Amino acid sequence: METKQTQTPGQNNGAPAGGRFNPRGARTGQRPGSGFSRGPGGPGGRGPSRRPLVKKSEYKEKVIEVRRVTRVVAGGKRFSFRATVVVGDYRGRVGIGIAKGLDFAAAVMKAQRKAEQEVVKVELLENRTVPYMIEAKYGAAKVRIKPAAKGHGLIAGGSLRTVLELVGIRDVSAKIVGRTKNKIANAQAGIVALKSIHTNKK
C-alpha cells in the first residue's frame, strides 16, 4: 500500500518559492550566482573596477572622408581604412587629422587624436567672422574667404564648410576656387587660410 506524503502550506521541500528546486541554490532559468548581491566596484565585491576611464574630449569632430586602403604584402593583400577627421570647439580652435586603422572605428579614433594634437588658434572678429578677405593654397587646392555682416550666415561648401563651421565662424562667404575636388586638400587649404589671419592682419 502506497503512502502519500502530505505537504503543509508554506513548505516546498527546500525548493525556492516560485520555481523548481535547483541544487545550485538558484531558480531554474537564472544564471548561477545571479541571486547574490554584488559588492562595490565589481561582481562579488572584489574591489574597484579596473576598466579604464575614457576622458571626454572638449572638441566636436566630423568625419569628412573614409577610404579603404589596400596594401600588397607577401601572401596576399592587406586591407585597412584611412579616415580624415576635423575637430573644433566652435570658439576659434580647429584641427585636422589623418590616420589609418584596421577598421572604421579605429581609424576615426586615431584621426581624432591626431587632429586634437594639430589644433590651431584662430583670431576671429567678434568671435563670428574673419577680419578681412583671405586667399590660401595647399597643393592644388585654393580657397577664398570673405567677411560678411552679422546675420549673413555661413556660405560655403564641401570640406571647407566643415572647417569654418567647427572653428565657430557664423558670418562669411567662402569659395573653393581651385580645380581639385580633393576633400583633404580643400580642408587643409582652409586651415592654412585661418592660420594666416594673425600674420596678415592690417
110-126 pLDDT, tens digit per residue, is 999 999 999 999 989 88
Q: What is the CATH number of domain 122-200?
A: 3.30.230.10
Q: How far is CA 144 from the centre of its chain?
A: 29
Output b/e per residue, 64-75; b: 16+ Cβ within 10 A.
bbeeeeeeeeee
Q: Is the pTM of this model over 0.75?
A: no
CATH 3.30.230.10 domain residues, the chain = 122-200
Q: What is the CATH number of domain 60-120?
A: 3.30.160.20
CA gap 176, 187 in Å, rounded = 10
Query: Hey, is 123 helix, strand or coil?
Result: coil
- C-alpha cell, 83: 579616415
CATH 3.30.160.20 domain residues, the chain = 60-120
Sheet containing 76-88, strands listed edge to edge, beginning at the edge strand earlier in sequence: 60-73, 76-88, 93-101, 120-121
pLDDT digits (tens, 9 = 90+) for 49-89: 555 555 677 899 999 999 999 989 888 899 999 999 999 99
pLDDT digits (tens, 9 = 90+) for 6-53: 555 555 555 555 555 555 554 445 555 444 444 455 555 555 555 555
CA gap 98, 95 in Å, rounded = 11
